[in-house]
Amino acid sequence: MLLCVYALMLCVLPAKLVLRGIPLDLAPTMLFGLGIGVIWFCAQQVDTLGAAKGRNIVRTALFCYAVTQLLTYGAATYSGLPADELKATDRTLITLVSVIAVGLAAVDGLRTRQGVERVLRYMVVGAAFMSFVGILQSRLGYDLTDLLTLPGLRSVSTEETILERSMFRRPSGTAGHPIEYGVMCAFTVPLALYFAFRANRRKEPRQWVWWLCFVVISGGIMFSLSRSAILGAAVAGLVLFYSWSWRVRVRMAVAAGVFLVVMRILVPGLVGTLIALFSNFGQDNSIKGRLVDYAPTSLRIERYPWLGHGVGTNLPLKYGWLDNQYLMTLLDNGIVGLVALVAVFLSGVYAALRVRSLTDDPELRDLAMTLVACLAVPTVAAITFDMLAYAMITGLVFLTVGACGALLRHQRDPAVPARDEGSSVRIET
């Protein structure tokens, strides 16, 4: 249940809210993730709490990534950093340790397929809420997250949560930026579709709930007016298209066409604006600005090629925006850190594909391919989006990678001791 609560907190609590009374700007989800990490560590010290032991490719990849963060942090602080960059690297390290801990807890704590699916369902519900808030923001022009402030939290956002592109408002929902909002929707829409299909096959009485989540999240992708979101959703669609039968392919192609027509009727000009984002690619000032930033960045990378300058030290107001996570990681974390980050993505994809190859269960095969489609979104979107600068999408990505590792562990060793099923301290129950 802890991981389910974590997934909901990421999506429901506005990203701009942090804990009051703490010098560092720490989101409540960071603290909650660290708490999950403490529970995971304690569970690993004994054999009576049901935590899984032993090797797992995702577990290894997360551990290696954690080591690179500590190496970079040690090297950066040893050589000395300005006060503003030191504060930023402290906060970033805490964030990354938190999401890594959540990923490890998912790998070793989700001992059953039902536990994995439960967490994924909470992710879909949370993403649907976030998307719905964003759609209302776009139509009303009012930041609804001002109504979600809780005691003990304060807002640190100095930027507008509702931006503009062409004649439309670009909402952030509960995310930190419209791009993160769009990528979040693209990341979770394959899961919403999976649960909708499964509910339809099983003739569940409330299958309309999952179809509603799918439609709302799909609408969020459109309203975000984000190239990163559209590109990520397209790649996820290609992955799913490969795994579907021709009957499903035709049905989904028709449904996509109907959806675009309905959106064009309900929101005139929206579809055309999305098409213009790519047809005017060469003339877009935002694209030109990103390319201009690459030259000075390469000079800074040459100074610290292996371990980087320090995680989180590339402050936008000081050095400029860099909307490329791979380039950002190379700058902040060096070649070693970039290899480790890519390994985390690939470990999750490998684990899901391995599960698909080991089972004949059609639903589990669909789930595995759905997870591959989900992870394809941040893998591609990271080219045009500094993903690790945003806690919401980062947390869900690491949680999903951990879920892939948990599925692989369960598939290879499906037997779970009876005492685990009833334990009140298991991370997913």
Residue with the bigger pLDDT between 58 and 286: it is 58
Q: What does the pLDDT read at residue 282?
A: 61
Instruction: Answer whether 61's CB lies under 8 Å from 344's CB.
Output: yes
Q: Is the pLDDT of residue 201 over 70?
A: yes
Give the distance from CA 244 to its chain's centroid: 24
In order of 11, 133, 226, 299, 392, the CA distances from 14 in angstroms are 8, 10, 20, 36, 9
Buried-state track 361-389, b at ≥16 Cβ within 10 A, e below 16: eeebbbbbbbbbbbbbbbbbbbebbbbbb
- The predicted model gives 232-245 an average pLDDT of 95
- Reported as a pLDDT band with limits 50, 70 and 90, residue 159 is low
In order of 13, 22, 37, 101, the CA distances from 31 in angstroms are 13, 12, 10, 11
- The predicted model gives 217-244 an average pLDDT of 95
- Reported as a pLDDT band with limits 50, 70 and 90, residue 332 is very high
d(CA 45, CA 32): 21
Q: What does the pLDDT read at residue 418?
A: 39
In sequence order, the β-bridge partners of residue 168 are 165
Q: Is the pLDDT of residue 239 over 60?
A: yes
Residue with the bigger pLDDT between 112 and 49: it is 112
DSSP reduced 3-state for 332: helix
Residue with the bigger pLDDT between 102 and 24: it is 102
Among candidates 400, 277, 372, 377, which has minimal Cα distance to 325? 377
Whose structure tokens read 């551990």? 63
Angle at which helix 178-202 crosses helix 113-140, to 10 degrees, equals: 130
In order of 153, 220, 235, 278, the CA distances from 224 in angstroms are 27, 6, 17, 15
Q: Is the pLDDT of residue 110 over 90?
A: yes
Q: What does the pLDDT read at residue 317?
A: 80
Q: What does the pLDDT read at residue 286?
A: 62
Rg of the chain over CA atoms, in angstroms?
21
In order of 300, 310, 316, 410, 425, the CA distances from 319 in angstroms are 10, 14, 5, 45, 45
DSSP reduced 3-state for 45: coil
DSSP reduced 3-state for 246: helix
Residue with the bigger pLDDT between 144 and 175: it is 175
- The predicted model gives 240-245 an average pLDDT of 94
Among candidates 376, 389, 402, 356, which has minimal Cα distance to 107? 402
d(CA 59, CA 363): 25
Q: Is the pLDDT of residue 160 over 70?
A: no
- Reported as a pLDDT band with limits 50, 70 and 90, residue 419 is very low
- Tens digit of each residue's pLDDT (9 = 90 or more) over 338-386: 999 999 999 999 999 999 999 999 999 999 999 999 999 999 999 989 9
pTM for this predicted structure: 0.93
In sequence order, the β-bridge partners of residue 169 are 164
Amino acid at position 26, single letter = L
Q: Is the pLDDT of residue 179 over 60?
A: yes
Average pLDDT, the chain: 90
- Tens digit of each residue's pLDDT (9 = 90 or more) over 43-96: 999 988 888 988 899 999 999 999 999 999 999 999 889 999 999 999 999 999
Q: What whole-number percentage of the chain has pLDDT above 90?
A: 72
- The predicted model gives 3-21 an average pLDDT of 94
Q: Is 180 exposed, middle or buried (0-12, 13-18, 19+ CB in 10 A)?
A: buried
